[in-house]
Chain A
C-alpha cells in the first residue's frame, strides 16, 4: 500500500474551517436534540408510571412507535414525507421558508427518537424507588403531583444519571445521521473533504479523534457528576 501522508492538509484553508464548522453543527444538533429528548422523555417516562391506564397506554404506544422504526427511516419521514401530508401552506413553509430546515428536522427527529429512550430510563428510575415511598408521601397528605415533585423525581433522576450519560453520548453519535438529509456535520464534512482532497486517511483519523475526544471528555465529566449524585446506600445496576 502506497499512501502519501500529508497531515498539513488538515490545518490548511478551507479544510480546517470546514472541520471546525462540522464539529460545531454536530454539537449544535446533539445539544438541541438533547433539550427535546430530556424534557419530552421526562414527561413520557412519568406518564408511564401514573395511575390512569389511558395515560399509560398512550405514553407506552408513543415509546413503542418511535423505538421500533430505524432512526434513518424516521429522518426521511420527517424530512420528505411530513411536508407532503400536512396542509399545503404548512408544507410549503416547511420546504421553502423555514431557515435551516434540515437542521431543525434533524433536531426534532433525533430529539423525539431519544426521548423514548430517556422515557424508559425515567420510568425505570421511578420504578427502582419502590411503592413504599409513594404511599408514604400520599399518606402524609401530599397530592400525587407533590409526591412526584418532592419524593420520587429527586431520587429517580439521581439513580439514572449514569444511564442518561449513555443516552447523551448516543444522541451525540446519532447526530451523524443528520448528514442523510443534508446537514454538514462532522461525519458529512469528513466525507466531503475525503472526496475533494485525496487525503482521506488524515480526515477520517481527525474525525475519529474528535469524536473520541468529545466522548472521553463527556464521560470524564459525568463520572464526577455521578460520584456526587450517587444515592447513598442504594445499589442500582446500570440499565441498558
Chain B
C-alpha cells in the first residue's frame, strides 16, 4: 500500500487536476446550456398564450420529479439508439444536466421576474415606454438583482451534482480520484481528499454568495 503523504499527493496532482478540469468544464457547459434554456422556458411560462405556458410548466414539473441519475442513464442508453452510435458518458451526462438544470433555472428566473412589483411595470408603461423597453430598463435589472443569489447557489449545487457522472464513467474529479485510489490502494485518503476539496470550494463559494447578497440586496 502506498503511503498517503504530501509527496504522494504532489505526484498524483496532475491527474487530479485533469479530472477537476473535466468537472469545471461540465459545470460551465451545463450552466450555459441550462441557464439559456431555463431563461427561454421562463419566458414561455409567463406567456399570455395558455397552451405555451402550460407546456413549459409541464416540462418543469416533469423534470423536477425525476432523479438526475435516471436522466443521465436515459441519455446514456437511449441516445445511441437514436443516433446509431455511442455518444459516450460526457455528452449523455451533459445533455442530462442541461435539460435537468433548465427546469430549476426556469423557476428561479420566473420567480425573479415575478418578484418585481406590478406597479413598476404600470409606471414604466405610463411614462410612455414600450413594453419591451419597460422590461429591459425597469423589470429585468431589478429581477436580476433579486435572483442573482439564488442563481449562484443553484450553480454551486450544479457543481456538486456533476460528481454524479461517476455512474457513467466520465473521468471527472471524483472518478479520477477513485481510479487513482484503487490503483495505488489509497482510496481512503483519496476520498477524504476529494471531500475536503469539494468542501473548501463550495463553502468558499457559498460564503461569497452570502456577502454579495448582503451588499446588493434591494
A residues lining the B interface (CB < 8 Å): 1, 3, 64-65, 67-74, 76-77, 80-81, 84-85, 169, 173-177, 179-180, 187, 190-191, 194, 200-201, 204, 207-208, 211-212, 215-216, 240
Contact = CB atoms under 8 A, between A and B. Distances in A.
A73 B67 contact: no
B195 A69 contact: yes
Given A70-B160, A212-B65, A207 B70 contact: yes
Nearest to A74: B195
A176 B188 contact: no
B120 to A, nearest CB: 18
A81 B199 contact: no
Interface stretch (B32-40, B73-81, B89-97, B129-137): B73-81
Interface of B: 62, 65-70, 73-74, 77-78, 81-82, 84, 150, 153, 160-161, 163-164, 166-167, 174, 178, 187-188, 191-192, 194-195, 198-199, 202-203, 206
A207 B73 CA distance: 11
A211 B77 contact: no
Contact of A187 (B65, B67, B206): B67
Contact of B78 (A73, A76, A200, A207): A200
A1 B164 CA distance: 29
B81 A73 contact: no
B25 to A, nearest CB: 17
Contacts of B70: 176, 187, 190, 204, 207-208, 211
Contacts of A211: 65-67, 70
Contact of A80 (B78, B160, B191, B202): B191
B67 A68 contact: no
A71 B74 CA distance: 21
B166 A180 contact: yes
Given A81-B191, A174-B67, A212-B65, A72 B174 contact: yes
A84 B199 contact: no
B161 A70 contact: yes
Contacts of B67: 173-176, 187, 211
A176 B69 contact: yes
A73 B174 contact: yes
Interface of A is mostly: helix
A72 B73 contact: no
A80 B66 contact: no
A174 B73 CA distance: 15
A228 B100 CA distance: 32
Given A180-B167, A200-B77, A204-B78, A69 B202 contact: yes
Given A70-B161, A72-B166, A73-B194, 8 more contacts: A73-B198, A80-B187, A175-B67, A179-B167, A180-B167, A190-B70, A204-B77, A240-B153
Contacts of B84: 1
A72 B77 contact: no
B62 A65 contact: no
A69 B66 CA distance: 22
A65 B203 CA distance: 8
Contacts of B153: 240
